[in-house]
Structure 1
Amino acid sequence: MFDWNIIRLNELMIVLYALSVFLYFIDFLHHNRKANKIAFWLLSIVWVLQSFFLFSQMAQTGRFPVLNIAEGLYFYAWVLVTLSLVINRLLRVDFIVFFTNVIGFIIMAIRTFAPSEAVSTEVSSRLISELLLIHITMAILSYGAFSLSFVFSILYLIQHNLLKKKKWGKRLHRIQDLAKLDYMTYVLNMIGVPILLLALILGMIWAYLKVPNLNWYDAKVIGSFSVLGIYSFYLYARVVKEWQWKRIAFLNVASFLVLLVNFFLFGSLSNFH
């Protein structure tokens, strides 16, 4: 009988891996060494768990476990994690580590949730259902972060307008200063983008496994990647192009309007959402 404890440990690895990718993304944007250090140790835990399962399988089967797709994917993910840890420790090339682990996370997710010969139909169905649940939960969490960032942008524009018109009333003092409103908008988008990216990765895996003859030009698919694209552009404009103040606030408001169109309009036009 398939051991559910093994499945839960694999799902734990996915969660730890997702947290690691998320923290590497923060370091990628903000050069946050604390986030980088925590991400490294989370990734190290993932590597220890992967190594334990890999060598346990070798001991059980008496061979190197690469003879089928599931085993090959697992070993591939282990290699990527191993290389990224070595690179992070010896060469300090952080951007390579981040992008490598995005690929590694995709491989691990496919390996964990895709049906295999060792898994019964019932267990496989439950895993795919859990994959969908995780996808939806992460997507909603990212939408929550984007919604709060929209509120901060609106407050920023209101505050900016009050200052421009020199209205020094109680309303002005009740709203935070412009720099803090702008910073909170950026922080929330910095949190939302990697969560949405991971949610879309898991969603694509679920759709590939569960939806026959999937149309990748589906309105919801295009809309979801449009939301990811415009918020990624926000981060690019904020960090690289150094857009500031009113200009970046309007971009964030426009990004949220794209999110609303995707959620309400494209969702109703989709064939499988």
Structure 2
Amino acid sequence: MFSLFFLKTTVILYFLTAGIYLFSFVNKDEKLDLIGSFVLQIGVVCHLISIGDYIASTFDKGLALNHFPFLTLVYFIVAIVYLMYRHKYKIKYVGFFYLLIPLFFLFLGISSESGFQNLSTDSIHFYSIFSFLALSLLTISFVSSIFYLTQNSRLKNKTFDFWFHRLPDLKTLDGMTYGSTLLGFMFLTLSILSGVMHYHSKGMNLFSGNGHEGLILLPWLAYVIYFQIRAYQGKLGRRLSIIAILSYLIQLTVVFAMFGFHRF
């Protein structure tokens, strides 16, 4: 199948990108980082073609989304956002770390049936799509927050070591974290609203059935706290970085609970 060929090509390019980015980080090689970004762009184009072909081939069948590997979209979205941030902030060497978690989702999406085929056509709603968009953007926030804590600690202790010379500066990390968290929170809110509307149309609520969908309120509340503190504090800082990290971990746990990777 055409889309399957491009999806396999995409996976190869994504794993190749991860290897190149890792070597560029270890060796602090700017040329390797540039090559990695070029390969990543080709991978994104191939991924887009596979998505477009899949939609075109199933459009007359009502888009059989229950067989579409949604988890591969996490890598797709994170890759696009990372490339945009890379261009805007001129960041180098750290691409491997931003793509590491999405690589895990990519592997699940192409190898595990529980990654997408357990989602019947009836259960795939806008809130599911918005949830994946939120997860992708908040992955950027998560990694940036870890980098912020790492870099802030080194500046505080005046430790100018291996990590210090490779990680982005605090101002860049602050901008990346805030932008990705804001957009991620927006999509998370939309996922909740669309979920509530869908269940309401069926005379149900988010806590109907197994109640896993209602768990999405937990990370939403965590990010509400994040933005309350951000409004008061005015910048990222250590406390906000920790809250962003914990909020993402809650979000990750909720996604696993909602889509059945683990039994809760």
TM-score (norm 2): 0.47
Please say which structure displays the higher CA radius of gyration: 1
